[in-house]
Amino acid sequence: MEIGINKKEHKHKGQLGGRADNSSNLKRINLALQGGGSHGAFAWGVLDRLLEDDCIDFDGISATSVGAVNATVLAYGLAVGGRARARHALADIWRRVANLALLSPLQPTALDRLTGNQSLETSPAFVLFDIITRLFSPYQLNPFNIHPLRSILCEYGGL
């Protein structure tokens, strides 16, 4: 998924990041954000740091999978409230994703927690989930088309 913003129509002085064109110290960058769950969380931290730096502005963003989630929320935040709103929106979405994960049956067992084992390889729920996902397609496992992230993402840009 690629996100493009028409800079001439953008309400923040022409840049995605909301800075004026005449700043001589401004470093304009393009971002390519990759997919892969934990990569998205890592990219959030990188984006947060980039948003803190007033000398960096964003010309464009290209992204896939969870990177597209970050890109959409970043663009939304910049469009509605600048850098501070973008940082807040990214923190909010990742906090909400983490809260969804608390409800997952894929959790370490009590024994794993006691022994400090961070792997899910011995978790009965994970082993069962792994077997089931190898035998059935996502469409068979989700006939009602339930997507926990949909309600969260709809708040950011009307996805």
Residue 43: pLDDT over 90: yes
> Within 13 Å and on the Cβ side, how many CA atoms surround 123?
18
Query: Whole-angstrom Cα distance, residue 81 to residue 95?
Result: 20
* Tokens of residue 59, six digits: 């010309």
Span 89-101, average pLDDT: 91
DSSP, collapsed to helix, strand or coil, labels residue 135 as helix
From 90, 48, 52, 98, select the one nearest 73 (Cα to Cα): 90
Taking 80 as the threshold, does the pLDDT of residue 7 lie above it?
A: no
For residue range 107-144, list pLDDT tens digits in order.
888 888 888 887 888 788 888 989 999 999 988 988 88
Residues 40, 70 contacting (CB under 8 angstroms): yes
**Is 0.85 topped by the overall pTM?**
no
